[in-house]
Amino acid sequence: MTSTSASAPPAAVPVHQRVAELTATHIGSWQEGYLNDRSQAVAALARLRRGAGREAGETPDLWNLIDTDALHASTAGTRLLSEQEMVRAENALHAALTLWAFHQQSRGAPMHRRHTRERPGGLGAAVRRLMPADGVDEPVRKRLVRAGTAPDLVALTQRLRDIVALLRREDIPLDYALLAGQLYLWQWPDGPAAVRRRWGRSFHEQRRPRPASDENTTPDTDKDAS
């Protein structure tokens, strides 16, 4: 006699991963359009930059620009988010997108690049690439430490903006999908400590000299490995 059993339901996608995926979806379209000088994408980036350093709800001009429908969906592998989860997801999405728009401004190469083991794209790795291959730039390192000790998300975003300004100057890209997921986690109890550890690991992950400048000319679409 044979028995049958129902297949197990798919595991729910973690909220921070949903935030990361939605961030990548938004940036993928805008970044391609911006690099090809499409007016709609250029205008979108200008609007996004005005929201940098502010809470998600403070810039009404972005309400119809940042589509959060995917966060409200309840399909296979997802669930409805609580109000607290939704607010924190929207805050993280807003912060990551506005920081990317500032980073991408007037740059001819993609400033969002997905993290891979071979080409680390985390915040710590990006900061490490600002430094000499054979040493540590202490003022730059302190900027990363200061970001990790921010008292709230708005202060964190403002401190990250200072770091992004340095990355932008050197044409060093960042995985903004990975960052968005981390910004979501950062808002929960014990989240700041966990995210700081991830940034520290990422910093030590990037020990090679800076790659040639043409490395950044092609977006990396590999899935976030963090």
pLDDT tens-digit map of 165-177: 999 999 999 999 9
pTM: 0.84
Domains of the chain, first to last? 15-217 (1.10.520.40)
pLDDT at 217 (0 to 100): 42
Region 117-137 average pLDDT: 89
Residue closest to 163 by CA, chosen among 153, 185, 148: 148
* Closest of 22, 143, 145 to residue 81, by C-alpha: 22
- Tell me the C-alpha distance between 36 and 21, whole Å: 23
Q: Is the model more confident about 155 or about 135?
A: 155
Query: From the CB of residue 61, how many other CB atoms can be counted at a distance below 10 Å?
Result: 10
Q: Residue 128's pLDDT is what?
A: 94
| pLDDT at residue number 43 | 96
Q: In whole angstroms, what is the distance from residue 45 CA to residue 102 CA?
A: 8
**Average pLDDT estimate for 23-37:** 96
Tell me the pLDDT band of 205, cut-offs 50, 70 and 90.
confident
Query: How many angstroms separate the CA atoms of 140 and 193, rounded?
Result: 20
What is the mean predicted confidence (pLDDT) over 118-144?
90
DSSP string, 52-98: TTS-GGG-GGGTTTS--HHHH---TT--PPPHHHHHHHHHHHHHHHH
Query: What average pLDDT does range 81-88 have in this prediction?
Result: 93
What's the pLDDT at 78?
73
Q: What is the DSSP letter of 44?
A: H
Cα dist from 220 to 33, 112, 196, 205, whole Å: 16, 9, 25, 18
Please give the DSSP secondary-structure letter assigned to residue 213: G
Residues 6+ apart with CB under 8 A from 156: 95, 147, 150, 183, 186
Q: Which residue's structure tokens are 């961030």? A: 23
pLDDT at residue 213, rounded to an integer? 46
